[in-house]
Structure 1
């Protein structure tokens, strides 16, 4: 079996024509071959959306939640609605086509296609995940960086597409480079009026006593699929959950804090702007064991 796999969508949306009539909705193709046209708007303008779905022991995890968020992001960009059935099958086929590994991922990408063509481009790419053992065990260092928007930007300026998982990821990569220049591993964004938001590719999760808390979903941040699963973990164990407006002081005062995401899972925060903070190794292990063991 190959190390990587690519499912190319023939008809990413039932609202648009297929690329080739009378062919199935998707096909597994060689990832090394050329498949995207140089004039595709996803390439030339970052005009598209994506999801990254973790795969544990061959099982795509939180797939339905990812596909719902995929559709919400597409709607925010006024892209043709993804055909959920076709994408579900493509993700599962790509995940099943690679060499069995404990942890992998599938990235789904939907672009507007070539300008004026009317047919979106879509694919699902599967590959082994990076080894995040050290980040999960030892924790990560973060810096707080101003995102430059107020916490209510999603309400005041919806055209900025905050909360949509678009291909325009240059800022998300730039802030990680800035974090590394400051001797850190990642970033926690802060609104211009002082509220905690999210990581560069992750959600912020705090434990305060017996309650897991995350910034509210109305703050122009991406609703987290992993964070949602960890709220389900909390409910199973009789812990409380909450969405709240949080400040930097809340991050330092919390009993424990993590950046959580689909592939890295729960990475405990051990340092904020150069100041050490305690991590809860046992609780972190429980969180990650729950995430790795998911079968859906």
Structure 2
């Protein structure tokens, strides 16, 4: 089968096993119609997704992505996904992708039309070698429009869920481009750094690596969690806490990290050059790819 790969899932109860699971998949062509015009995912962005990075035939962080997928479903009051079914779907799509090079796998679950979810998994080859992993990215800080504790006081805003409603995130990236930057870091109205539109934020401060705490209105980062394991093994102290926006300028290094682009070092914030750590960046990306 040629890429991109599309695998459709028939939704089954979260505890279903055996034949029900085995018979719940079917491949579709990349141009086959699979989504109703009345599907809530298309009409309202009412659904969830995950994107997994793949290197040389291996998908990274399957457990972490599935856990976050289930957590997002809970936040949106969607039917709980059958995680063994989705895991098996990932393996089936992996089997259709090249065994060398980089690719991505995307899981999507929408509210569907009439109460039955629409579910699919895609696999695509990732072209390019991501030069920003070494050359870095310039970022601008953009207000998210609410305080850092909004997730605790307004859970209906779904700030900790990975939803299909990414229009604001894409608008932020376009605004960053308009300002002459490559990416953005969202900041709260009370002065704290949060995350990128499609990435998590990491800072190095001496032998300490910090990231914004997820209870303050951000998405739990799977790549960030992987890097914390790597960096802890290297002897760094890793912690999650509130990060004052001014720390972006005075840290020893900073990165935006994500499943496909991996660790991209931040070289400038709002037009001001900041310190980088090329050697640590190289080790981080090598660990993720390995």
TM-score range with shorter-chain normalisation? over 0.9
CA distance in 1, matches of 2:73, 2:190: 29
CA distance in 2, matches of 1:179, 1:208: 26
CA distance in 1, matches of 2:166, 2:15: 26
Answer yes or no: is 1:163 the counterpart of 2:160.
yes
Q: What's the CA shift for 1:170?
A: 0.2
Answer yes or no: is 1:254 the counterpart of 2:251.
yes
Answer yes or no: is 1:154 the counterpart of 2:157.
no
3-state SS, counterpart of residue 133 of structure 1:
coil
CA distance in 1, matches of 2:189, 2:129: 31
CA distance in 2, matches of 1:57, 1:163: 31
3-state SS, counterpart of residue 131 of structure 2:
helix
State the 4+ residue runs in structure 1 displaced beyond 2 angstroms: 98-101, 130-133
Given the two structures, how large is their TM-score scaled by the length of structure 2?
A: 0.95
CA distance in 2, matches of 1:140, 1:223: 22
Equivalent residue for 1:241?
Answer: 238
Cα distance change of structure 1 residues 273 and 147 upon mapping to structure 2, 3 Å threshold:
same
Q: What's the CA shift for 1:247?
A: 1.4
Equivalent residue for 1:91?
Answer: 90
3-state SS, counterpart of residue 246 of structure 2:
helix
CA distance in 2, matches of 1:278, 1:156: 35
Would the aligned equivalents of 1:7 and 1:91 in 2 still touch at CA under 8 Å?
no
Cα distance change of structure 1 residues 152 and 99 upon mapping to structure 2, 3 Å threshold:
same
CA distance in 2, matches of 1:136, 1:52: 19
User: Deviations for 1:6-65, whole angstroms, at most 9, x for unmatched residues?
Assistant: 110012x41599xxx998121222122111111111011111000000111111110010
What root-mean-square deviation, in Å, do the aligned CA atoms of Structure 1 and Structure 2 show?
1.6
Which runs of 5 or more structure 2 residues have no equivalent in the other structure?
A: none
CA distance in 2, matches of 1:23, 1:190: 45
CA distance in 2, matches of 1:292, 1:131: 15
Equivalent residue for 2:62?
Answer: 63
Would the aligned equivalents of 2:15 and 2:82 in 1 still touch at CA under 8 Å?
no
User: Deviations for 1:191-250, whole angstroms, at most 9, x for unmatched residues?
Assistant: 011100000100000111111100111111000000000000012112110112111221
Which runs of 5 or more structure 1 residues have no equivalent in the other structure?
A: none
Number of aligned positions between the proteins: 287
Answer yes or no: is 1:28 the counterpart of 2:27.
yes
CA distance in 1, matches of 2:14, 2:91: 22
CA distance in 2, matches of 1:288, 1:22: 36
Q: Which moved more, 1:127-136 or 1:104-113?
A: 127-136
CA distance in 2, matches of 1:273, 1:221: 21
Equivalent residue for 2:177?
Answer: 180
Would the aligned equivalents of 1:10 and 1:23 in 2 still touch at CA under 8 Å?
no
